[in-house]
Amino acid sequence: MPPRSLQQRLTLLEEKVAQLEASPVSTPRDELRHMHDDLARRLETVGNESRQRDEDLVRRIDTANEESRRHMRVLYEDLVTRIATIG
């Protein structure tokens, strides 16, 4: 193969650069940015799910506390009635 002229080599190089610029090649920085964005979305989802579970738990505890208070009031009123009956 005969050596190429400088003009031929430059033309070939320009064509290869144009092909590389047109191809969707990702850089490590792009990949890291994509991974970071994906991780951020996942963490946001986990955080939202965790907050929802916490809110559900607080509601359940509040409901149980209110039921306990009602039960204690009934028992107290029963006790007062019994003492009044005995006394």
Using CA atoms, how far apart are residues 48 and 73, in angstroms rounded to an integer?
38
> Taking residues 10-38, what's their average pLDDT?
87
pLDDT for the residue 74: 97
pTM over cut 0.85: no
Confidence tier at 50 by pLDDT (50, 70, 90): very high
Give the end-to-end CA distance of the chain in Å, rounded to a whole number. 122
pLDDT for the residue 83: 95
Confidence tier at 20 by pLDDT (50, 70, 90): confident
Confidence tier at 52 by pLDDT (50, 70, 90): very high
Tally helices (H) and strands (E) across the chain: 2, 0
